[in-house]
Amino acid sequence: MLLTDPKLLGALAELQVERKPAVRMASWTSLGIGGTTDMLTVCERRHLGAVFHLLRAHGIRHRLLGGGTNLLVGDGELPWVALRLGRVEPTVRIEGNCVWVDAAEDLGRAITTCAKANLGGLEGLAGLPGTVGGALRMNAGAYDTEIGKLVREVVVYRAVHGRIDTLPTDQFRFQYRRACVSTCDILLGARLELVERPCREILDRIYVCNFNRRASQPLSEKSAGCVFKNPAGASAGRLIDAMGLKGFRVGGAMVSDIHANFFVNRGRATCAEMQQLIEEVRERVWSAFHIELEEEIVLWVN
């Protein structure tokens, strides 16, 4: 365990940081893979700087955890603590056709709240698991919707300055499945500009997206969504499928037989097995098509 020093524990308690010792990260990730570490939940955003300072002073690394839905976490005892943002009410605040959403809010719940206020635009993302913070960090996209295109301002904790800033999007770039955030910045929320349309119409669109998703993706299995980004002008899933790799497995890690860019945990897969599967598939696609696949999922293996 990394958090043992009584002084450090006392200081974290004073900052109202909730601590869960020896958490199995497998229970906090949609892939169901990951070793053990201590978990800290920070509710008061203004305490973030003090928490970072304390951890650094004790030589302890941290990783910021959202919903854990796009992550491959290492096996065994992990060399960092997992830090989470606690929910702070109100997590969704509507202003005209704009909405302020907190990073800790569940993405699906945020979309439903907006729909009830007759605000659409996020329909394609309904059904994606995870938090708003994770969706912003990864510039989540599906069915012609990309969250970054709707963002007008981001709220960021800037560790270097020790303060919370609101930045317009021209200072903050979103790319395909990635937001350009400095490693010292933490996304705390965003203002999105949505489209006014009747709630019924929004719910109908959500229904159609969910129907298509259920028909083409292994939603009932443990996965982290698409493993690889789509290479320019091609589809990673189609390339892997064309190699006949659906059902190909390394131990408990398997290429889904529904969508070839989803790798599923068929029971007790380890991170090492999943990594081996990723490398094997990447090499085979490279030898056949001379296309280098790049991971979309985020690896926290050391």
Active site residue ranges: 177, 226
Under 8 Å between Cβ of 93 and 155: no
Instruction: Provide the β-strand partners of residue 196.
Output: 119
Q: How far apart are CA 218 and CA 223, in angstroms?
A: 8
Q: Of 40 and 140, which CB lies nearer to ligand EPU in the complex structure?
A: 140
Name the residue number minimizing CB distance to ligand EPU: 225
In the complex, least distance from residue 144 CB atom to ligand EPU, rounded to whole angstroms: 7
Q: How far apart are CA 253 and CA 247, in angstroms?
A: 10
Question: Which residue's entry shows tokens 């969704």?
Answer: 92
Question: Which residue's entry shows tokens 């509507």?
Answer: 94
Q: Is 143 in the site for ligand EPU (CB under 6 A)?
A: yes
Report the SS3 class of residue 135: helix
Annotate each residue in 258-297 with x if it binds ligand EPU (CB under 6 A) or - if it does not, as one string.
-xxx----------------------------------x-
Q: CB under 6 A: which stretch of 83-91, 192-200, 256-264, 277-285 binds ligand EPU?
A: 256-264
Q: Count of residues binding ligand EPU (CB under 6 A)? A: 16
Nearest 5°: phi and psi at 104?
-80, -10
- Interface residue with ligand EPU among 4, 16, 182, 216 (CB under 6 A) is 216
Q: CB under 6 A: which stretch of 59-67, 99-107, 157-165, 222-230 binds ligand EPU?
A: 222-230
Q: Of 178 and 229, which CB lies nearer to ligand EPU in the complex structure?
A: 229
160 CB neighbour count, 10 Å cutoff: 9
In the complex, least distance from residue 32 CB atom to ligand EPU, rounded to whole angstroms: 16
Residues in region 223-252 near ligand EPU by CB under 6 A = 225-226, 229-230, 235-238, 241
Pick the closest to residue 115 from 194, 193, 51, 178 (CA basis). Answer: 194
In the complex, least distance from residue 226 CB atom to ligand EPU, rounded to whole angstroms: 4
In the complex, least distance from residue 229 CB atom to ligand EPU, rounded to whole angstroms: 5
Question: Which residue's entry shows tokens 């969706």?
Answer: 135
Buried b (16+ CB within 10 A) or exposed e, 95-109: eeeebbbbbbbebbe
Q: Of 5 and 292, which CB lies nearer to ligand EPU in the complex structure?
A: 292
Q: How is the beta sheet containing 36-42 ordered, strand by strand?
A: 18-24, 36-42, 80-85, 61-65
Q: Of 37 and 230, which CB lies nearer to ligand EPU in the complex structure?
A: 230
Quick one: which H or E segment has residue 142?
strand 141-142
Q: Of 100 and 143, which CB lies nearer to ligand EPU in the complex structure?
A: 143
Pick the closest to residue 253 from 24, 31, 70, 69 (CA basis). Answer: 31
Q: Of 175 and 302, which CB lies nearer to ligand EPU in the complex structure?
A: 175
Q: Is 182 in the site for ligand EPU (CB under 6 A)?
A: no
Instruction: Provide the β-strand partners of residue 65.
Output: 84
**What residue ranges bind ligand EPU (CB under 6 A)?**
142-143, 216, 225-226, 229-230, 235-238, 241, 259-261, 296
